[in-house]
Amino acid sequence: GLEWLNLYYNQLSGLIPPVLGSLSNLGILDLGGNQLSGPTPPELSNLGDLRQLQLGSNQLSGPIPPELGNLGNLENLILGANSLDGFIPQELGSLSNLESLILGSNRLFGFIPQELSNLTRLQNLHLRYNQLSCWETSGVLEWAQTVPEAIWDDPPGTTICEVYPSP
């Protein structure tokens, strides 16, 4: 079956077809740089062999499906430069093979889940240009500083999130 679907920068528009979730052998799904809109189909969580999900630089909206946390082989999750909103699902913290988490330049808000600090293989983290918060004692800031390529301070000296005292 199909193992790699790369339609990067092909001027595609419309919704992402949920039927893509039935391509069971897919290891790489790259639909970045198009004009795709609407929600991210939760059916993509059926792609158990998926290592890379690149949906960045589109016009996707709505929340990040928590079901994406079931993609145990995922190494790269790229959802940046869309119009995604809502919370970062705590379920993403179970993606133990994740090396890149790119969620910047969306409309995400709320507290950064402490579960993300479970992502010990993470090499690239991009969360800036959202409306994120974090608890002072959650360990999220300390964790983010251990990620080699963390893009979270713009302008320099600011932090990944608005910090609140302990709940």
Give the pLDDT confidence of 68-100 residue by residue, as tens digits: 999 999 999 999 999 999 999 999 999 999 999
CA distance 149 to 146: 9
Contacts of 151 (CB under 8 A, 6+ apart): 104, 124, 125, 126, 127, 128
Give the pLDDT confidence of 119-164 residue by residue, as tens digits: 999 999 999 889 988 877 778 878 888 888 877 555 555 566 777 8
Higher pLDDT, 143 or 29: 29
pLDDT (average), residues 108-123: 93
Contacts of 167 (CB under 8 A, 6+ apart): 135
